[in-house]
Amino acid sequence: MTGLKWVDIANVDAVFKEGRTSWIVISEKTVGAQNLAMGVNETHVGGNVPAHKHDKEEEVMFFLQGKGQFVTKDQIIELKPGICVFNPPGETHSIVNTGDEILKFVWIYSPQLDSHRNK
């Protein structure tokens, strides 16, 4: 796949996990991207993204809706619309919805996770 591509999120299958829903919008699987992946996450009221880390991937999250906390070993960042978080490789983190509506954010990985590739 080469050249300009576009995706309508309405045509992307949602991935449901306990407490959250994600859409992988841009990846090798969706458009042939080789260097990054991008998607949208909705963490439901009372839900969270459990503590985890990425060994080689940089991650950026831009928060669009709701309130929450981005939690690392050393820091808690209060989340609200307009907050953008850069998380370097190797940093364990979790995201908690502390509000009364969906916590919605766009995420980008570079390089993309192996699960985003056509392997």
What are 43-79's pLDDT values in tens digits? 999 999 999 999 999 999 999 999 999 999 999 999 9
CATH number, position 29? 2.60.120.10
At residue 79, the pLDDT reads 98
Residues 8-24 have a mean pLDDT of 94
What percentage of the chain's residues is helix, strand, coil (to nearest 5)? 10, 50, 45
The label of the residue with tokens 């392997």 reads: 119
Q: Which domain holds residue 66?
A: 14-116
Decide if 56 is inside a domain.
yes
Q: What mean pLDDT value characterizes the chain?
A: 93
Decide if 104 is inside a domain.
yes
At residue 117, the pLDDT reads 83
Decide if 89 is inside a domain.
yes
DSSP state of 27: S
Answer positive or negative: Cα dihedral of 6, 11, 16, 19. positive
